[in-house]
């Protein structure tokens, strides 16, 4: 039976935007694993005048209300860069949160689909909040552990809400965790790493903080080239690169970032960060001066217990030379030698189609512990 009191409306004004952001607290109030977003940063990210997505995209936000109470939310967006590099038929949805009610979810999907259809799209894909290098996918496996930074988290019932509207799987992304295991020998692993580097006449170095500004443009171009063949890749803009990587720089320890050089050219790199979610969870959405200082202390000074390998890559010219083995071995060796309290390093998100990376992570003791899924449907 239809609930005539359900109303879907676009977000209009600051009060609605705050309701859009704050609705997540309603969904996750009894979920001990959820990490509240930092409200000031979320406001800026969603702001059409400030968010990096809006250099090349458009979006609308919708709220579902029943008898005046918010019971769901969703974004609908179109992405000019996606259209330039892939197709002009696809629109997207993201920021999906909903009560356990198919009617509410379907009404939200209907609103998002109508919005992208009005802009000439014939397919809707998501969840992407907003694009492929923001928060990606619906969590469909791994509900028993907290999300690492920049990962999504949702109740298990979301999968039913999505598939019951007619969405079908498009693509999966994997998260692995590498833990200390009995028999792991730092010297043995370092010897394996060094043998690969010697054979390829390469060397591995940390990316020093003052070197990152100089190397940053090269890393961005290398990243865009490396990931060009991967599903849904859209080249990072300068603003996105600054938003993702440069913003992290004050918080990241230099020994966690490394590059492999062939001569003076970077041919492989990894960016590993302390898992900020371990600190952010305690802030409950606040991000004032005290929270910023606390985050700086936790990331730069406190013994590391959890990290995330945000990005790893090898230049096309040096693929099939086992440099991806050297990168992973270097991460493990660093933790064994310098961070004895490390519980695990999350390596994500790894596209399901990257067979050699998936195999290598499993070979070195990685456990696939989360799966994030994208869905699509004709509209």
1 belongs to a structural domain:
no
219 in any annotated domain: yes
**Residue 132 clears pLDDT 90, i.e. is over it:** no
Q: Does residue 163 sit in the same domain as residue 300?
A: no
pLDDT class for 214, splitting at 50, 70, 90?
confident
Give the range of the structural domain holding residue 221, as residue numbers without chain letter: 178-370
Helix/strand/coil for 217: helix
Residue 375 lies in a domain: no
Residue at a domain's end among 158, 173, 188: 173
Of 122, 153, 173, the residue at which a domain comes to its end is 173
Is pLDDT above 70 for 189? Answer: yes
Q: What is the pLDDT of residue 288?
A: 95
> Could you tell me what percent of the chain has a pLDDT over 90?
76
Strand 344-351 to strand 135-136: parallel, antiparallel, or no bridges (unpaired)? unpaired
Same domain, yes or no, for 187 and 290? Answer: yes
Residues facing residue 97 across a β-bridge? 73
- What is the per-residue pLDDT for 254? 81
The candidate with the shortest Cα–Cα distance to 52, out of 126, 119, 131, 115, is: 131
Residues 164 and 293 in one domain: no
63-116 tens-digit pLDDT: 999 999 999 999 999 999 999 999 999 999 999 999 999 999 999 999 999 999
CA distance 163 to 145: 23
Q: What is the pLDDT of residues 282-328, one digit of tens each?
A: 999 999 999 999 999 999 999 999 999 988 889 988 988 999 999 99
Asked whether residue 134 is domain-assigned, the answer is: yes
Q: Does 73 share its domain with 159?
A: yes
Residues of the chain with pLDDT > 70: what percent? 96
Per-residue pLDDT of 232-265, as tens digits, reads 888 887 777 776 666 677 777 888 989 999 998 8
What pLDDT is attached to residue 56? 93
User: Same domain for 126 and 217?
Assistant: no
CA distance 161 to 45: 26
Domain assignment present for residue 377? The answer is no
Angle at 23 between CA 17 and CA 24, to 5 degrees: 120
**Within this chain, do residues 153 and 223 fall inside the same structural domain, yes or no?**
no
Of 63-67, 154-158, 313-317, 375-379, least confident by mean pLDDT is 313-317
21-60 pLDDT, tens digit per residue, is 999 999 999 999 999 999 999 999 999 999 989 999 999 9
Question: Looking at residue 221, what is its pLDDT?
Answer: 84
| CATH number of the structural domain spanning residue 326 | 3.40.630.30
36 and 126 together in one domain = yes
- Which range, of 162-171, 203-212, 323-332, 336-345, averages the lowest pLDDT? 203-212
> Alpha-carbon distance 27 to 22, whole Å?
10
3-state helix, strand, coil in the chain (%, to 5): 40, 30, 30
Residues 352 and 314 in one domain: yes
Among 173, 204, 227, the domain-final residue is: 173
For residues 163 and 214, membership in a common domain is answered with: no
> Minimal CA–CA distance to 255: which of 347, 334, 177, 326?
334
Query: Is residue 1 predicted with pLDDT exceeding 50?
Result: no
Share the mean pLDDT of the chain: 92
Determine the distance from the C-alpha atom of residue 233 to the mean position of all C-alpha atoms in its chain, rounded to a whole number. Answer: 13
Nearest of 344, 342, 334 to residue 369 by alpha carbon: 344
| Among candidate residues 137, 140, 128, 175, the one with its CA nearest the CA of residue 306 | 175
**Are 92 and 240 part of one and the same domain?**
no
Identify whether residues 353 and 217 lie together within a single domain. yes
Task: Please give the model's pTM, rounded to 2 decimal places.
Answer: 0.93
Residue 311 lies in a domain: yes
How far apart are alpha carbons 308 and 95 in whole angstroms? Answer: 22
263: tokens are: 């001569």
Question: Which has the higher per-residue pLDDT, 246 or 7?
Answer: 7
The per-residue pLDDT for 245 is 66
| Domain presence at residue 55 | yes
Q: What is the pLDDT at residue 96? A: 98
Burial of 232 (0-12, 13-18, 19+ CB in 10 A): buried
The number of folded domains in the chain is 2
Q: What is the DSSP string of 284-345?
A: TT--SHHHHHHHHHHHHTSPP-EEEEEEEEE-GGGTTTTHHHHHHHHHHHHHHHH-TT--EE
* Same structural domain, 58 and 183: no
Domain membership of residue 243 (yes or no) is: yes
Q: Quote the pLDDT of residue 351.
A: 92
Helix (H) or strand (E) holding 43: helix 39-46
pLDDT the model gives residue 230: 80
């Amino acid at each position: 039976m239809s609930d005539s009191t359900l109303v879907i409306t676009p977000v209009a004004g600051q009060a609605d935007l705050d309701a859009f952001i704050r609705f997540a607290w309603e969904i996750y109030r009894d979920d001990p694993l959820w990490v509240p977003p930092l409200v000031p940063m979320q406001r800026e990210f969603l702001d059409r005048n400030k968010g990096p997505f809006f250099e090349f995209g458009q979006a609308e936000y919708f709220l579902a209300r029943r008898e005046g109470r918010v019971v769901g939310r969703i974004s609908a967006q179109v992405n000019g860069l996606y259209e330039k590099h892939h197709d002009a038929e696809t629109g997207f949805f993201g920021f999906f949160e909903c009560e356990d009610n198919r009617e509410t979810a379907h009404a939200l999907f209907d609103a998002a689909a109508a919005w992208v259809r009005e802009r000439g799209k014939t397919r809707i894909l998501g969840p992407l909040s907003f694009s492929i290098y923001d928060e990606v996918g619906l969590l469909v496996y791994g509900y028993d552990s907290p999300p690492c930074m920049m990962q999504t988290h949702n109740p298990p019932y979301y999968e039913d809400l999505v598939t019951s509207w007619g969405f079908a799987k498009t693509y999966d992304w994997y998260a692995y965790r590498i833990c200390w295991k009995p028999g792991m020998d730092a010297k043995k692993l370092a010897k394996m790493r060094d043998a690969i580097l010697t054979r390829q006449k390469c060397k591995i170095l940390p990316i020093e903080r003052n070197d990152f500004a100089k190397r940053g443009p090269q890393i961005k171009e290398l990243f865009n080239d490396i990931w060009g063949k991967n599903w849904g890749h859209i080249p990072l803009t300068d603003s996105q690169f600054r938003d993702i990587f440069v913003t992290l720089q004050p918080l990241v320890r230099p020994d966690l970032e490394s590059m492999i050089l062939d001569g003076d050219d970077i041919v492989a790199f990894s960016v590993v960060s302390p898992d900020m979610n371990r600190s952010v969870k305690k802030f409950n959405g606040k991000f004032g001066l005290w929270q910023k200082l606390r985050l700086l202390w936790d990331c730069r000074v406190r013994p590391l217990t959890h990290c995330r390998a945000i990005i790893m890559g090898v230049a096309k010219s040096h693929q099939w030379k086992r440099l991806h083995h050297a990168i992973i071995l270097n991460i493990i060796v660093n933790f064994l030698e310098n961070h004895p309290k490390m519980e695990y390093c999350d390596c994500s998100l790894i596209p399901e189609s990257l067979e050699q990376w998936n195999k290598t992570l499993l070979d070195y003791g990685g456990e696939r512990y989360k799966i994030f899924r994208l869905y699509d449907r004709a509209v």
